[in-house]
Amino acid sequence: MARLTYTTGTPEQMSAEFEAALERLRTGPGEPLAHRIAGEDVAQGPVLERRNPARLDEVASRLHEADEALVSRAVEVAREAQPAWERRGFAERIAILRAGADEIERRKVDLAAIVSLEVGKPRHESLAEVQESADIINEYCRLAEEANGYTQQLGSLTEDETNTSVLRPFGVFGVISPFNFPSALLVNMASAALLAGNTVVAKPSDKATWSGVATLAALFHAGLPGDVLNIVLGGAGTGTALVDSDVDGIAFTGSVEVGRRIGTAMRSGRYDRPALMEMGGKNPTVVMPSADLDDAAAGIARSAFGLSGQKCSACSRVIVHEDVHDELVDKIAELASTFAVGDPADAETFLGPVADDTAATRFERSVAAAMQDGEVVAGGQRPVEGGHYVAPTVVTGLPRGHELTLTELFLPFLTVQRAASLDEALDLANEVDHGLTAGIFSADTAELDRFVERMQAGVLYLNRKAGSTTGAWPGVQSFPGWKASGSSGKGGLGPWFVQQYMREQCHTVVT
């Protein structure tokens, strides 16, 4: 059987297992989810509620919210545990994390069902995400082994001198993960920090807490010590408390606005501390006259409307040469009309709900602005009742510099702009603050080379029908964000990510 990824289908047997798990887990986790500190559940703090975005009459999960004192306690436990965790060495840490990856894979169907209940992901998205979580861990472990535990011998000035460069952990990392990939992105940041020898205090998204807690439970089952990974639950207040605590670094995935506040906080105090952040995208696809327009439309539609556009890598902008503009728009609009919007429990569903009422309201306002300043050629409706459902939407005719073409909406909302040349298209593509992913469709090698040379984004896809800007996979594509999309220029899933959770120390020994 082919490896399950974002670009493969769901095997029939796994689909049936998913449906059974979804029905079995629909009643939620029972008691409100508790924090986990020093290996013990701590049911403390006010209770928050997460509604199933696909069925608003159902509660997906409930959770206790941590205050500043509880967050500080978790950080203290992690700090006490860190020296012993570092001394265990890379080989032992790798063995524990690989066992955790195996356990995640064994629990894949149940974990995917939980993700679907909390986030509204269809099965092909949620199953692939959990598989990605396991693959992320295995890829980082493989890279650490190849790097000899990030230890390198240097030159010597005298015969009795030995010099060694060693990467060592910072200490305690806070990890703040988003709702849209509540398993994979939490695992991405936490596993890299743990592998590097840090201890972790993790805060899953309050929109997908059960998904995060259930995924991390697999690591504990595989032997990860409870004081090495501590979990605090809650909303923005808990996240702020973690950033303001005595951590040695923060790893964050989310909005530019929040990321910049975190970066400022981590530069205050006695010395700068690392803030490793991936902060969204406003990702373009450029289409030239020589392109296969059917492939282009398929790749654009898949990237624009998968997970209802709630991916930092989603294609939200198309910049197409004027000679093929109308034909391409017709093809994308036709595809958009074929995508089923509905409950993720339905095997035919391609678009589930958006995250919450805030996102649904943002959709309505965006459609209103598009109708005023451009033309809505597909979608624009709220097609299904009972959940936060919105239709895949395509908009043309907006003037250059319009807010809808520059601002990340996190919706299944695609704008299409005309360009008279490749250079004009690239100027338009680069005028946003973000720089995460970008794609192009062209049969002209010189145009492809020009795109790679000029495009200001960390992940580039050339003629990719499977997804014009989306679909990165561990060990296959790295995921670096340029400009406002990232703080370091080095991406998750790739060969330079784990090193960011360590700092270099040079050892000179004279014998």
Q: Is the dihedral of CA 77, 82, 88, 93 positive or negative?
A: positive
Give the tens place of pLDDT for each residue, 398-425.
Answer: 999 999 999 999 999 999 999 999 999 9
Please tell me whether residues 300 and 317 are part of one structural domain.
yes
Please give the structure tokens belonging to residue 249: 């670094």
Range of the domain at 295: 283-472
How many CB atoms within 10 Å of residue 92? 12
User: pTM, whole model, 2 decimals?
Assistant: 0.96
Please tell me whether residues 187 and 304 are part of one structural domain.
no
Beta strand spans in 142-294 (E):
151-153, 161-169, 172-176, 199-203, 229-231, 249-253, 275-278, 283-287
Please tell me whether residues 270 and 291 are part of one structural domain.
no
Q: Is 312 a catalytic residue?
A: yes
Q: Which residues pair with 48 in a beta bridge?
A: 63
Please tell me whether residues 128 and 218 are part of one structural domain.
yes
Please tell me whether residues 241 and 309 are part of one structural domain.
no
Identified catalytic residue from 118, 139, 278, 408: 278
The total domain count for the chain is 2
Please tell me whether residues 464 and 321 are part of one structural domain.
yes
Q: Is 315 a catalytic residue?
A: no
Domain contains 508: no
CB 180 within 8 A of CB 310: yes
Please tell me whether residues 111 and 172 are part of one structural domain.
yes
Domain contains 483: no
Domain boundary (261, 279, 297) is at 279
Domain contains 220: yes
Instruction: Give CA–CA dist 168/156, Å, rounded.
Output: 22
Please tell me whether residues 289 and 421 are part of one structural domain.
yes
The overall longest dimension of the chain from CA atoms, in Å, is 77
CATH number at residue 338: 3.40.309.10
Identified catalytic residue from 312, 315, 408, 447: 312
Please tell me whether residues 70 and 202 are part of one structural domain.
yes
Please tell me whether residues 270 and 298 are part of one structural domain.
no
Tens digits of pLDDT across the chain (511 residues): 567 899 888 888 999 999 999 999 999 999 999 999 999 999 999 999 999 999 999 999 999 999 999 999 999 999 999 999 999 999 999 999 999 999 999 999 999 999 999 999 999 999 999 999 999 999 999 999 999 989 999 999 999 999 999 999 999 999 999 999 999 999 999 999 999 999 999 999 999 999 999 999 999 999 999 999 999 999 999 999 999 999 999 999 999 999 999 999 999 989 999 999 999 999 999 999 999 999 999 999 999 999 999 999 999 999 999 999 999 999 999 999 999 999 999 999 999 999 999 999 999 999 999 999 999 999 999 998 999 999 999 999 999 999 999 999 999 999 999 999 999 999 999 999 999 999 999 999 999 999 999 999 999 999 999 999 999 999 999 999 999 999 988 999 999 999 999 999 999 999 9
Instruction: Give CA–CA dist 277/263, Å, rounded.
Output: 8
